[in-house]
Structure 1
């Protein structure tokens, strides 16, 4: 039987929304030690205490509607058990954009660069560290209007591409970007599509990324408190104008950042 997916409340982040690109909160019950949970072979963030543990599971945008599952091991010598949950349907809107042709039909050298960068970022995205975050409520990293929402089906110059994997916030070039949650800088780079980019590690496979930056005022290893400014908005990479692309990742899956923000 599928596990209870606990509904979000005003005191609970991220909000539970078991749809593609959303988050499932799976009640695991009591256990003397923190259970070890995996989605496939990928570790999952588990928070709580001996009275009740909760798995915080990121659901891929490409996840099919229907039953999904994680495996739970309550102790090192205990057998693993399956915990199932149901992924509901969600319809995302479509967005059509016009950008520089070279960022859609890639030249061989640009494609080779993108492949190198993708391999590097796959390594970054595999980060799973301790200590685990004490809380998961985030603050919006830069003030401004949300100019493009998570999950939009993107069409660049008439060609369909992957859905939008973050939240775009309109802001002027040079606007400071503040850490939405305490974390450590694990990557700083200039990438073909994302432009100036910083990744933060918040612990337990919870990561966040910041793209199209004009300045990165940090370096790998810096430890940030919530609210610390560490980079600035720009218009680098594949963009139509200055803005911050903010992404949030759980268990190597990009999820909707809005689920981590107060309503």
Structure 2
């Protein structure tokens, strides 16, 4: 009986420790398109963790290591598993409803591309997929991110999008309604790993913040950085525009974790359950 009591006390202590975690309070939104914060325990050496076969971001908070896991929009509510050090750690994904958005485009090729467009799109997708799968060893400078621009949100993450009445991929980032030419600043330190002008995204920049934690900015009127450039938090990466598939000037920002696009609102304290 005393031994059982001691085990119960240990479990309660671990639960309280997790509940008191700043990162858990800030980031743990385990829904489709959200983030799960997993306790990996204590230790002098950083553990590794994998989710869906891919490495995930691991950071140390005081004496505890935590995995910061991106949950795909396609995941159904229910149990999911992370592997670390020979262990299987289970977390539960809750439900979340995402609204619809209907957009009318004058350029019908942006809805139904022709064969030449599709060839270009597929080549560009391969390049961007490789960038999203980058996993550098550095720890991000900060996980509570700055807004890349100051302005109201015009479209939230995860919205089901219909272009000219036809459903396409859900919205994979946040849109900010700000004027053309507004400077876009990186929300955390990082390295530029991709720069390009793409069919759907227009002028685009990828910034690697470390361990698969990546920002993507697109539709820019101007790019102010180069491939391989190191950036301090708050440096300008480009200017707001409406290049690519866009109906007007705005700033589109993606966040990717373990090659999963997640809601950037989580990292700026603007998440809506």
TM tier relative to shorter chain: over 0.9
Aligned 1:155-174 pairs, distance under 5 A: 155-174=162-181
- Structure 1 unaligned residues grouped into runs of 5+: 74-79
1:81/1:50 CA distance change after superposition, 3 Å: farther
Residue in structure 2 matching 1:53, options 65, 81, 90: 65
Q: Distance in 2 between the 1:192 and 1:129 partners?
A: 27
1:6/1:60 CA distance change after superposition, 3 Å: farther
Match of 1:92 in 2: 98
Q: Does 1:28 align with 2:35?
A: no
Residue in structure 2 matching 1:215, options 206, 222, 225: 222
Q: Distance in 2 between the 1:225 and 1:218 partners?
A: 12
Residue in structure 1 matching 2:160, options 153, 156, 171: 153
The offset of 1:56, in angstroms, is: 0.3
Determine which structure has the larger helix proportion and give its number: 2
The offset of 1:183, in angstroms, is: 0.8
Q: Distance in 2 between the 1:90 and 1:232 partners?
A: 33
Match of 2:197, SS? strand
Deviations 1:128-166 (A, max 9, x none): 112211421111001111000001000111001111000
Q: Does 1:68 align with 2:80?
A: yes
**Whose Rg is larger?**
2
Match of 2:117, SS? helix
Residue in structure 2 matching 1:41, options 34, 50, 53: 53
* Greater Cα shift, 188-197 or 253-262: 253-262
Please report the RMSD computed on the Cα atoms of aligned residues, expressed in angstroms.
1.9
- Structure 2 unaligned residues grouped into runs of 5+: 1-13
The offset of 1:262, in angstroms, is: 3.6
The offset of 1:226, in angstroms, is: 1.0
Match of 2:8 in 1: none
Match of 1:82 in 2: 88
The size of the alignment, in residue pairs, is 255
TM-score where L is the length of structure 2: 0.89
